[in-house]
Amino acid sequence: MDEFYKEPLSKGAVKYYEKVRDLIQYCNYDQSYDGSEVIWLWGQQAELGEVLADNKVPDKYIDEVASHMSCNGCGCEDFDRYSTIGLIDLIDKEVQDKIEKANKKYKKHIEKLLEYINSYPSLALNNPVAKAIHKEISNSKVPECTIENVTVYRCRMPEGNKTFSFKEIHAPEVGISNAGRYNHFGQSVLYVSSYPETAVTEVSGESKGDIKIWMQKYTIKKIGKILDLTSDWEGFLKLSTIFTAIINNRILEQTSPGNTSTWKPEYLFTIFISDCAKSCGYNGIKYPAIKGVGENYVFFDPLNKEIVPAEPPPTHRFQIQS
């Protein structure tokens, strides 16, 4: 008989098998090895027979069900009740459940809010989800951070042979700027990036190849009460349900094709968040960079004395990938 041949599942075992068939996330073959010794990296280690018993598979069916299981990681099908398997990590499971719950509860409502805010930007607070967001920010339910001794960067594209001063690279004064991700038309705020490369991509637009660019480096000595809208995977567990849905669905990172239009609906929601933050006493927002790595920051007061420029702004050459 073919060694891979398996007897079909008996009628009694089928319903138990259906419940547990996706349980094995990883197996021995997905791990790392030091010689013949397995170094367990992936999944919560467990013995298959025990996991099946925990999942209410009667003992008389465990051998049969185990032999029909396969691994989601590598597809292998070589299991018995004594096999060591990797279950989904508890934290991963918790995060996945949270995201699923958040999407179920808020995803559609957030889409409705985006439509509403598109038509009536200044009436956003009429929308129940917008109201809830404002309430969470005002009750300090959203993570915040202090930025201390952090180096950040800001760039400007060259204009011929003109030498830019610090003032010309720094935040435009009131009445100069276009609407930005976290500012209304003409408001003066300072945007900076945590990495020089990200600061370059923020201004380089369609430019490609070797470009000379003006770059101002700053040290942020200490600025507290910064709304933190970045989150790593485990960070979702610290977020409220609404902000889990917002950040997981990348609502803060919307873009629109072509940037010549003065109508920027992709910024209306983030500008609303920034109004909420500012009105609740926050000094700025930390948010995920869209075009590069790391984070960006917006500071609501560009003249804050804790923002210390390295003088004078030098030019740098950068290679912009297409």
Q: Which residues bind Zn ion (CB under 5 A)?
A: 27, 29-30, 71, 73-74, 76
Closest to Zn ion by CB, 29 or 120: 29
- CB within 8 Å of 117: residues ≥ 6 apart: 124, 127, 130, 268, 269, 272
Taking the CA atoms of 68, 74, 78 and 80 in sequence, report the sign of the dihedral they define.
negative
- Shortest spacing between CB 51 and Zn ion, in angstroms: 15
Closest to Zn ion by CB, 67 or 274: 67
For 179, which DSSP code? P
- Shortest spacing between CB 259 and Zn ion, in angstroms: 46
Return d(Cα 30, Cα 40) in angstroms, integer.
Answer: 9
Q: For residue 65, give the amino acid letter.
A: V
Closest to Zn ion by CB, 29 or 233: 29
| In contact, 256 and 313? CB cutoff 8 Å | no
- Shortest spacing between CB 224 and Zn ion, in angstroms: 47
Alpha-carbon Rg for the chain in angstroms = 27
How far does the chain reach from its first CA to its final CA, in angstroms?
A: 57
**How large is the greatest C-alpha to C-alpha distance in the chain, in angstroms?**
83
- Shortest spacing between CB 74 and Zn ion, in angstroms: 3
Closest to Zn ion by CB, 80 or 115: 80
- Shortest spacing between CB 33 and Zn ion, in angstroms: 13
Structure tokens at 85: 């398997």
Closest to Zn ion by CB, 59 or 78: 78
Question: How many other CB atoms are found less than 10 A from the CB of residue 108?
Answer: 12
- Shortest spacing between CB 18 and Zn ion, in angstroms: 20
Closest to Zn ion by CB, 52 or 285: 52
